[in-house]
Structure 1
Amino acid sequence: MTAYDRLSGAVPDADAMNNYLQAYLNVPPDQITNLRDKEATRSNIIAAFENLRDNLKIKHQDPILIYYAGHGGEVPSKKKDKIQALIPADCVAGEIPPIPDRTIAALINGISTKHGNNITVILDCCHSGSGTRGGGETDETTVRGCELGPNDVPDDLDEHICKENLEPEATTESSTCGLRFAKGFAMKDMNSHILLAACGAGERAREDRGHGRFTDALLELLRTVPPDQITYADILLKMPRIDGQNPQCEGYHRNRILFDSKVRLPTSRHNIYEVNLEKKKYILQGGRAHGITDGAEFTLYRNREVALVEEPLGVMFAREDNINPFTTILEPVGNAPGALENPAIAIQTKAGASKDLPIYVPLESQYMHLFEAIAREMSGTGPDLCKIKLVDEAEKDKAKLEIVATQKNQLTFKVLEKQAIEHGFTCMPHAIDPDIDDLHHILRAASHYHFYLN
């Protein structure tokens, strides 16, 4: 293995991803494992995978994200399938080997077997070596790859990991690491996880200005589009273009909504707008078409990078006669923010005129306590724009959704929204078990539908 350049952007990228998880997706810090610089050793990386596999707190199909920013490489081989690998911080030729694709695949398979296939793997590194400078590199640019030698990954490396994490039919007579799916990180038919990779085979993943180009572009998109409104495949279509890199999305479920739409979002993530200061007027790039109503309040930040992290510039609100179809003139609550970086960012932090979703649940329902608890949460103060309220028998005619418990102790959803019924949508297609997390997820989605429909 050749010597490799130190990467100045890998740690900032991991920090930026960590910030996204906490500030934008509200992931608790104790659910995130961080390995930086010297901590990202071969043994620590493998142990982190195994800890995920053995974590009893993870429910089936809970979203799991595995993110790696660093060097990657490829082992020269006369065989058709070459071995790709991640390069841990303590990797030394002849002493501590890299982590080959087959080991990563086996570890992910172990996690998927235990917890389901709602697993997202993001790799901001090269698939192959190409660590030396070439076309497109400058003094500020570093390639995230290094050259591996033919002996850097022994044939029997990590056999015990393969045995622990693969079913018997996944092995061959010649080697217990002969996986049942193709070698390499990018495999179109893999079912255990979805892969987002920085570049295609033979391309170079680069970093400059202190960040990986792929991670920078990916987070630029994810900070503006809520994960429940985009599929994995759509990410490649919507993210900014990267010169010399064609990011890859692989996996059987690549048309699935990001994180299988099971992330409990901070509600402010649903309403982020650009604001420009024009002729002493604060122009918000959103209006009636975006669901903005009289009295809605917005908190302003310098830019997307510092939103929800730095102190805000100020708070502004929308007045009825200043709301246009696609723009809104904002007025300050208290002191005006002053000069802005055009554009600044506004996060809606208070709903305007109420568009609550009225729901009717028969009083005799044994699950009334679930609905009351969720209604209290979704009707409270804060940035949640999409709320519900429970109506009684006397106001049933105002309800837009009716929820009934079946004889099998499941919940069904009858649609009472006139506009939906006119188009043949009268009932949600599936009944669910009375699980409070599933119920909250469905009612939040229904309230969003009602909010924007009206």
Structure 2
Amino acid sequence: MSFSSDQRPAKDQRNASPVDASRFWAVLIGIDMYSSRRLSGCVADTKAIEEYLTKDLGVQKHRIQRLFSTSSQPRTKSAVSFIHSIAKNARTALRHLRDSFTGNSKDLPLDIESSIPTRANIIDTLLSLSTNSEIENEYLPYEGTSVADKGSIEALSPIDRTPPDSEVTIPDISDREINSILKEISRTKGHRITLILDCCHSSGVTRSLTPQNGVRSVDPLPDTSIQDMLDAAHIRLRDLPGYRSVYEGDWHPDMDSHVVLAACREYENAKERKGPNGNSWVFTQALIHTLKHGDLTEESTYLDLVRALKLPTNVKQTPIVAGKHKEARLWYQDSGFGESSSR
């Protein structure tokens, strides 16, 4: 799944943006189904982003990697048990899941093992971007949930995160691990990386005893999860060139490697609302609407995009943009794709 940088720019059917789509590669991650709680709208939103990429920007589908899991798919007891058993025996569980999808087989990806948003698949898929010789511009939306543990480390939650009362530990993916991966991609490909996160960051939400309606959250991991997350990250990433230990007490993120668009501030909640096609998340809705119909120009930057977002007046969440290159033109149109990036 790669593209050649010497191809001519793909033509956008709607002619909405003069972007060279032949240089795009996207990884879309959407998770509605967790063992401890089900969300809604995450996968639908991610598919809406995919539609924007393919129909508005002209990105070809074979340049988009999809890691999806929906709450609507598993309707049988055997399918639900997949989540609890995947940590112990992934291959058996995946075969079990295939068998339980009677009547819905057309919705399954061809390569189901690598398409399920497990911790291993998410990490492997992201790291593969750094070694693909054809990739120049990365777009990485994540729709699911995140947690913040005791205010010190934030994390993204894969589908196979440690389920309740499990003897097997599968930690969330810490912000230190994600940042280290983005730094590695940037080292080999340059800083043309866009990370989009439509999920909560607030520890107050994820630590709530009663899940709040319309808020993306899941149950917190055990108190040992910070050490587990750091151990998993170190083991997986320690051999990368330029790796900085995730254990360091003065660790800080490398904000030169990417631009991140996030749904809300760390003390706020990512909210949902009902739309014509079911539940959708306010930030993603506003983002896609602004990209398609907003007052953006060829000169608009990531900062301009966030400033142009119009959220419902009754929604108290503030989208943010961060990164050294947040004032770059959207999709890094002024980055000089054929040149190596200076850092």
The Cα of 1:142 is off from its aligned counterpart by 3.5
Contact 1:144 1:207 in 2 (8 A): no
Q: TM-score, normalised by structure 1?
A: 0.50
Task: Name the counterpart of 1:212.
Answer: 281
Change (3 A) 1:162 1:40: same
Q: Name the aligned partner's letter for residue 193 of structure 1.
A: H
Q: 1:144 to 1:23 in 2, by over 3 A?
A: farther
Question: Match of 2:293, SS?
Answer: coil
Structure 1: stretches of 5+ with no match in the other structure:
184-188, 264-431, 439-454
- Alpha-carbon shift at residue 158 of structure 1 (Å): 1.7
- Summarize deviations over 1:167-204 as a string: whole Å, max 9, x none: 15x33xxxx54397525xxxxx7100001011101111
Q: Which residue of 2 aligns with 1:44?
A: 121
Please tell me whether residue 117 in structure 1 is matched to residue 191 in structure 2: yes
Q: Is the 8 Å Cα contact of residues 74 and 148 (structure 1) preserved in structure 2?
A: no
Once superposed, what is the RMSD of the aligned Cα atoms? 2.9
The one of 131, 155, 162 equivalent to 1:54 is: 131
1:368-423, Cα deviation, whole Å (9 max, x unpaired): xxxxxxxxxxxxxxxxxxxxxxxxxxxxxxxxxxxxxxxxxxxxxxxxxxxxxxxx
Q: Distance in 2 between matches of 1:164 and 1:102?
A: 15
Query: What stretches of structure 2 of length at least 5 have no aligned partner?
Result: 1-33, 71-115
The residue type paired with residue 66 of structure 2 is N
**Partner SS for 1:205:** coil
Q: Which residue of 1 aligns with 2:174?
A: 100
C-alpha distance in structure 1 between counterparts of 2:251 and 2:325, whole Å: 15
Partner of 2:9: none
Matches within 5 A, 1:126-275: 126-129=200-203, 130-131=205-206, 132=208, 138=213, 141-154=214-227, 155-165=230-240, 167=242, 170-171=244-245, 177-178=247-248, 182=252, 190-209=255-274, 210-225=279-294, 228-242=298-312, 243-261=315-333
SS of 1:203's equivalent?
coil
What percent of counterpart residues are identical?
29
Cα distance in 2 for residues equivalent to 1:192 and 1:145:
29
1:85 pairs, out of 155, 158, 164, with: 155
Q: CA deviation at 1:37?
A: 0.7
What amino acid does structure 1 have at the position aligned with 2:122? I
CA contact (8 A) 2:302 2:326 kept: yes
**AA of the residue aligned to 1:159:** H
Instruction: Determine whether 1:63 maps to 2:132.
Output: no
Alpha-carbon distance, 1:148 to partner: 3.4
1:71 positional shift: 0.9
* Contact 2:282-2:311 at 8 Å conserved across structures: no
3-state DSSP of counterpart to 1:52: helix
Aligned partner of residue 160 in structure 2, secondary structure: coil
- SS of aligned partner of 2:232: coil
Distance 2:217 2:273 in 1: 11
1:286-365, aligned counterparts within 5 Å? none
- Could you tell me which amino acid in structure 1 is paired with residue 146 of structure 2? G
1:338-417 map, 5 Å: none
Give the distance between the partners of 2:130 and 2:305, measured in 1 at CA: 27
Distance (whole Å) between structure 2 residues aligned to residue 127 and residue 152 of structure 1: 16
Measured at CA, do residues 19 and 133 of structure 1 come closer, stay the same or move farther in structure 2, by a change above 3 Å? farther
Kept after mapping to 2: 8 A contact 1:102/1:177: no
Shift of 1:261: 1.4
Aligned length: 246
Spell out, residue by residue over 1:74-130, the C-alpha distance to the aligned partner (whole angstroms, 9 max, x if none). 1126xxxx1100011111155211111111011111110010001000001111341
Deviation string for 1:426-449 (max 9, x for gaps)? Answer: xxxxxx9xx9x89xxxxxxxxxxx
| Superposed displacement of residue 166, structure 1 | 5.1
RCO greater where, 1 or 2, for CA within 8 Å and sep 6 or more? Answer: 2
Contact 2:146 2:199 in 1 (8 A): yes
Matched residue of 1:56: which SS? coil
Decide whether aligned partners of structure 1 residues 92 and 133 sit closer, same or farther in structure 2, where only a CA change above 3 A counts: closer
Shift in Å, 1:216: 0.7
Inter-partner Cα distance in structure 1 for 2:201 and 2:35: 17
Report if the CA contact (8 A) 1:88-1:98 is conserved.
yes
Is 1:28 the equivalent of 2:60? yes
Deviation at 1:134, TM superposition (A): 7.9
Q: Tell me what 2:97 maps to.
A: none
- For 2:140 and 2:125, locate their aligned partners in 1 and report how far apart those are by CA, in whole Å: 10
Of Structure 1 and Structure 2, the greater strand share is in 1
Q: Do the aligned partners of residues 180 and 67 (structure 1) sit closer, same or farther apart at CA in structure 2, a change above 3 Å counting?
A: farther
Structure 2 distance, partners of 1:229, 1:146, is: 42
Q: Distance between the aligned counterparts of 2:63 and 2:249, measured in 1? A: 30
The equivalent residue for 1:405 is: none
- Measure how far apart 1:161 and its partner are: 3.1
* Higher share in helix: 2
Rounded Cα–Cα distance in structure 1 between residues aligned with 2:216 and 2:306: 21
